[in-house]
Amino acid sequence: MVEVREDRMYTKSHEWVKLEGNVATVGITAYAVEQLGELVNIDLPEVGREVQRGEEVAVIDSIKASEAVYSPLSGKIIEINEALSEDLSLLSESPYDDGWIFKLEVRDESEVSDLLSPEEYKKILEE
Amino acid sequence: MANRTPLYEEHKKLGAKFTEFSGWEMPVWYSGIVEEHLAVRNSVGVFDVSHMGRVEVPEEYEEELSSLFTKNLRGSKPWKLKYGMMLKQDGSVIDDMIIYKIPGKFLIVPNAGNDDIIASWINKNLGKEVARVITSDLSMLAIQGPKAEEVMEKILKEDLSDLKFFRCKEIELFGERGIISRSGYTGEDGFEIMAPPRAIIELWRALISEGVKPCGLGARDTLRLEMGFPLAGNEFSGGRTPIEAGLEFAIDWDHYFIGKEALLEQKSKGNYERLVGIILDSKAPPRHGYEVYKGEKKIGTVSSGGYSPILKRGIALAYVRPEHSKEGEEVGIKIREKILNGRIVKPPFVKKR
């Protein structure tokens, strides 16, 4: 079973969310990276953009396919990981740390309770 | 269920990830598409290409076969290969293929899944059963890269330096007889070799032991795309002709062939879309069917697209309006609602070796 970190929350679409106050750092899980295969390109969102929960904010191209990254929460994008544009190996090799994708100022704290716990996410992977 | 080549267990042993291609379960990668691609460009890689078709026609039907093929096969000398196409009356491509002339017969290698189609086409036009499908009698490998000659000479204990490009010869391979040609689909120096499955499996194992990288269909596609080589299912779909596809070099106009009149008419009218190469400023890979733009105007469609590991850019082959098909012309490809900038290049995208 691929790594699932205990220190964060998850979505059904394989994003992870780490909350510090009202700032959420978002990335994709080790499982998602494995499914994508070789990464060649990432389209990052613009800083300052307001997004809704479930909205497509980024796209990752692999050699064979493209996958969307959806925002787990509603809010404003305050930072993006520009280093990924130069070096996608940060994402493929360190999806939970150096491979973070964007940071969000959370607008609606109540949405957090709809995120999956590590246990719930692990169950999804087992199916 | 999809067909498997005799090397299926070898691919499983090496941890290949499989995909289905034209009815065959084939390795798409072993270690990774980019890694395999670079191994072929920089060193040597081996592909199982046993899924390709193999059709035999006795040499006495040389004249008739020639009338079905864009290259002139009359007076064919043995041990030479010819690349060309079989067309319908309207000039559209049925398949592209290599035809080997060996003593006594023509050996046709059409694309995977097209062996029955090509054999039927030949037999229908000749009015008798002269073409025989022998796909499963033989297996086939492609060994490609600057070190291909060195490693093949070592394993075969045979001098290959005098085997020129698009020539073939008979060799002994682990007690069986095989045919080796200097040819390939990657733009690198290399060989393709056909022989009974048992011998090909031995060759595969020997190549792997020598450190040759096993390569799958993923790298096969990125390599041929960098060269601008057509992939039948993409570049010929929708009734494209060799004229549109820029493959006039594969036509000998000095003989009759089915589709010739239609091509001449198309050439004289001149108003047809042309296949061009496009290199994007970005790394995003275009895909088959994506639209090509000049400003706000749609001017064409991508037939093949992907990522070039050598150029580190998205690249595509696309059919575009003739007035926008000049080398250097700035165009865009629509990827996910956004038009990404690029320019037209004449393939190959990467210099042939």
Q: What is the mean pLDDT of residues B185-210?
A: 98
Q: What is the mean pLDDT of residues B180-206?
A: 98
Q: What is the mean pLDDT of residues B49-64?
A: 97
Q: How far is B16 from chain A (nearest CA, A)?
A: 13
Residue that wins the pLDDT comparison between A103 and B351: A103
pLDDT at position B133 over 70: yes
Strand B45-48 and strand B213-214: the pairing is parallel
**Contact state of B283 with A38 under an 8 Å Cβ cutoff:** no
Q: What is the pLDDT of residue A64?
A: 78
Q: What is the mean pLDDT of residues B258-267?
A: 98
Distance CA B117, CA B88 (A): 12
Distance CA B254, CA B290 (A): 38
Helices and strands in chain A: count of H runs, count of E runs: 4, 9
Chain A CB contacts of B336 under 8 Å are 43, 59, 66
Closest CA to B333 of B349, B348, B316: B316
- Measured CA distances, B269 to A11, A55, B92 (Å): 57, 49, 16
Using CB atoms, which residue from A40, A59, A64 is nearest to B336?
A59
**B257 touches B66 (CB < 8 A):** yes
C-alpha A121 chain-centroid distance: 14
Q: What is the pLDDT of residue B353?
A: 65
Q: What is the pLDDT of residue B242?
A: 98
Mean pLDDT value across chain A? 94
Closest CA to B274 of B306, B315, B238, B318: B318
Q: How far is A34 from chain B (nearest CA, A)?
A: 12
Name B301's bridge partners: B291, B319
Q: How far is B225 from chain A (nearest CA, A)?
A: 13
- Which pLDDT band, with edges at 50, 70 and 90, does B289 fall under? very high
Distance CA B183, CA B81 (A): 9
Name B194's bridge partners: B140, B179
| pLDDT tens digits along A67-115 | 999 999 999 999 999 999 989 999 999 999 999 999 999 999 999 999 9
Widest Cα–Cα separation across chain B: 63
Q: What is the pLDDT of residue A37?
A: 84
Q: What is the pLDDT of residue B1?
A: 75
Q: What does pTM read for this prediction? A: 0.91
Q: What is the pLDDT of residue B336?
A: 86
pLDDT at position B352 over 80: no
Q: Using DSSP, state whether B81 is helix, strand or coil.
A: strand
Q: What is the pLDDT of residue B61?
A: 97
Q: What is the mean pLDDT of residues B254-271?
A: 97
User: Which chain B residues have any C-beta within 8 angstroms of a chain A C-beta?
Assistant: 28-29, 32-34, 218, 222, 282-285, 306-307, 314, 336
The residues, ordered by sequence, that sit 6+ positions from B15 with a Cβ below 8 Å of its Cβ are: B30
Omega of the bond leading into B58 within 30 degrees of 0 (cis): no
CB-side neighbour CA atoms (13 Å) of A76: 4
**Contact state of A38 with B34 under an 8 Å Cβ cutoff:** yes
Assigned token pair, B89: 């009356």
Q: What is the mean pLDDT of residues B22-39?
A: 95
pLDDT at position B161 over 80: yes
C-alpha B291 chain-centroid distance: 24
**Contact state of A63 with B314 under an 8 Å Cβ cutoff:** no
Q: How far is A7 from chain B (nearest CA, A)?
A: 31
Q: Using DSSP, state whether B166 is helix, strand or coil.
A: coil
Using CB atoms, which residue from A61, A64, A66 is nearest to B218?
A64
Phi, psi of A13 (to 5 degrees): -90, 25
Q: What is the mean pLDDT of residues B140-144?
A: 98
pLDDT at position A28 over 90: yes
Q: What is the pLDDT of residue B71?
A: 98
**Contact state of A61 with B283 under an 8 Å Cβ cutoff:** yes
Mean pLDDT value across chain B? 96
Rg of chain B on CA atoms, in Å = 20
- DSSP symbol at A38: S
Q: What is the mean pLDDT of residues B142-169?
A: 97
